[in-house]
Structure 1
Amino acid sequence: MTTAATATTRGQQEPHTLSHLDTLESEAVHIFREVAGEFERPVLLFSGGKDSITMLHLALKAFWPAPVPFALLHVDTGHNFPEVIAYRDRVVAEHGLRLVVASVQRYIDEGRLRERPDGTRNPLQTVPLLDAIERGGFDAVFGGGRRDEEKARAKERVFSLRDEFGAWDPRRQRPELWQLYNGRYAPGEHVRVFPLSNWTELDVWQYVLRERIALPEIYFAHRREVFRRAGMWLAPGDWGGPGDGEAVEPRTVRYRTVGDMSCTGAVESDATTVEQVISEITASRLTERGATRADDRLSEAAMEDRKREGYF
């Protein structure tokens, strides 16, 4: 004889639950579709780094089988890693996307920006970015920022309002209860949107593994000429490194994050597969920006200061 509890459950299926990655993917897809339905001219920042690659993969999923309904925007410092630029152009051609490039070098050549003594161009990206947003009439700009990267980015909402000067004010952050996003903005303002806000570096790599997303080869261990500066391994290049007394030597390294060559450090690593990178990240106690980005070490509030000026 069966009990009442057995009788009520017989023939019933277990309720379906989403995995952690499925939940993050679902949230990001919802954000992309919400923006596409609410804004007139969105654009996706695409550098060829792992976070922007993951964003593009999610956007392709969100609108499949239709094409992605917005362009890509890259603020090119002129000091990017060649492997990353080659990847960027290959992906744009493969998916038939429209790419808008804002060139820091052009601004320097025209005298609108001045080269920094240290050769670092990441802080110089703000003006070309804001000009490109204004010229394109973009009212929503997708970025790959994640809250686990850096404490200023942890303050961001998914929809982050920027004023008519592109500046960010933490006091104007809006509540986002139950995944309800407020996209209202005044003339001249725009909204920065972060679909990966709730992801971690480990989440991104686990998603890359699951989805079999191709990444630029510099994310995996390879032999490279580097030199030591301020505790980081930097790659020589046209940006001005190495300086006097900085010896170049071959090392087996990989990059955890990708940016301007002058401020993006490599880490010594033997990880040549996604699985090995995941194991390496799991054991690390430093975020990728904290470990390998010199521009975030300029001051305690370096990132927040740049965000207030209009940087991502």
Structure 2
Amino acid sequence: MRAAPVSGERTAALAQCGALDALDVLEAESIHIIREVVAEFERPVLLFSGGKDSVVVLHLAAKAFWPGKVPFPVLHVDTGHNFPEVLAFRDDTVARLGLRLEVASVQDYLDDGRLQERPDGTRNPLQTLPLLDAIAAGRHDAVFGGARRDEDKARAKERIISLRDEFGQWDPRNQRPELWSLYNGRHTPGQHVRAFPISNWTELDVWRYIEREGIELPPLYYAHEREVFRRDGMWRAVGEVSQPLQSETVERRVVRYRTVGDMSCTGAVESEASDVTAVVAEVARTTVTERGATRADDRLSEAAMEDRKKDGYF
């Protein structure tokens, strides 16, 4: 692991002098945010799904407190429709870093009737209630996430430190200013904040940083051959919770995933990018965000993400 970068007032000055490149500046900003949140809040937690963005945030947190351990647990909202490779990667990462893993299970809520299965079989929109209950049960007053502004119009509206009310809800009309990178974490009992350390990063920034730092990811992010079928303009993987209709043809294709959410709503893209250098080159050429290209749950309506965020989703 590289030494922790400079942060604070020196970052801008060093960047202007050419002593830091763009990734150094982004890294310094993110580590500054993580340290500020840990200093100000009592019980932070990091949402960790095993996806690339949460992996990068966890890597940044490890650098922020190196040589000590990450001083907060990680939380995964398990839909029950996750890719097995991602769950295995999550568990290996938690064990390697000696982290405490908290799991909120959507399946538990379905089993006891607190939630009902959707007609389309997608469980991503069902994550909100288990997430909010897990935040309340853990008394977490700050929740780190890997959301980025370039992913979606709703996330572009989000502040780096974003207040959630007593019901875990977000009001896009009531955003706090963050002039001069000053972050307002004030909240009353029952409220909490969501903190987004890589909010200012792009998908290409994330992949360039993964390449530079040698960060491991689930193998789904790289080109591999698997059985898929075409639906809604996307290649869906064949699996226990993702089965083709009678009118849909199963094919073997070389694909990779740009995002690894709920298996029943996440599509793959055809790709020959089998290593991180090839992925960086591929992402540099793309003109569609990963969520727009591969997430069916974001196509439910034009405001699908914003509606879920208002209810308490990330």
- Fold shared, TM-score > 0.5 on shorter chain: yes
Find the aligned partners of 2:142 and 2:35 in 1 and give their Cα distance.
12
- In the alignment, is the contact (CA less than 8 A) between 1:120 and 1:239 conserved in 2? no
Residues 1:191 and 1:230: Cα distance change in structure 2 (over 3 Å):
same
1:249 equivalent among 233, 248, 251: 251
Report the Cα distance in structure 1 between the residues aligned to 2:111 and 2:161, rounded to whole angstroms.
34
Structure 2, unmatched stretches of 5+, are: 1-15
Alignment of 1:125-274 (within 5 A): 125-274=127-276
Query: CA separation in 2, counterparts of 1:110 and 1:240?
Result: 23
- In the TM superposition, residue 140 of structure 1 has moved relative to its aligned partner by 0.2
CA RMSD after TM alignment? 1.0
Q: What does residue 290 of structure 2 align with?
A: 288
Letter in 1 for 2:265: C
8 A contact 2:242–2:263 mirrored in 1 = no
Q: TM-score, normalised by structure 1?
A: 0.94
Aligned residues: 299
Partner of 1:8: none
Cα distance in 2 for partners of 1:66, 1:282 equals: 35
* TM-score, normalised with respect to structure 2: 0.94
Query: What does residue 26 of structure 2 align with?
Result: 24
Match of 2:9 in 1: none
Task: Give yes or no for contact 2:228–2:252 (8 Å, CA) kept in 1.
Answer: yes
Provide the rounded CA distance (Å) in 1 between the counterparts of 2:132 and 2:239: 27
Contact 2:236 2:242 in 1 (8 A): no
The answer for the alignment partner of 1:113 in structure 2 is 115
Cα distance in 2 for residues equivalent to 1:241 and 1:16 = 52
Q: How many angstroms does 1:66 deviate by? A: 1.1
> 2:52 maps to what in 1?
50
CA distance 1:16–1:283, shift in 2 (3 Å): closer
Q: How far apart are the structure 2 equivalents of 1:265 and 1:36? A: 35
SS of alignment partner, residue 254 of structure 2: strand
Report the Cα distance in structure 2 between the residues aligned to 1:186 and 1:239, rounded to whole angstroms: 41
Letter in 2 for 1:117: P
**Structure 1 residue 74 displacement after superposition:** 0.1
SS where residue 252 of structure 1 aligns?
Answer: strand
Structure 1: 5+ residue runs without aligned partners?
A: 1-13
- Bigger Rg, which one: 1
Q: Percent identity?
A: 71
Shift of 1:15: 4.5
Read off the aligned partner of 1:310 and give its amino acid letter. Answer: G
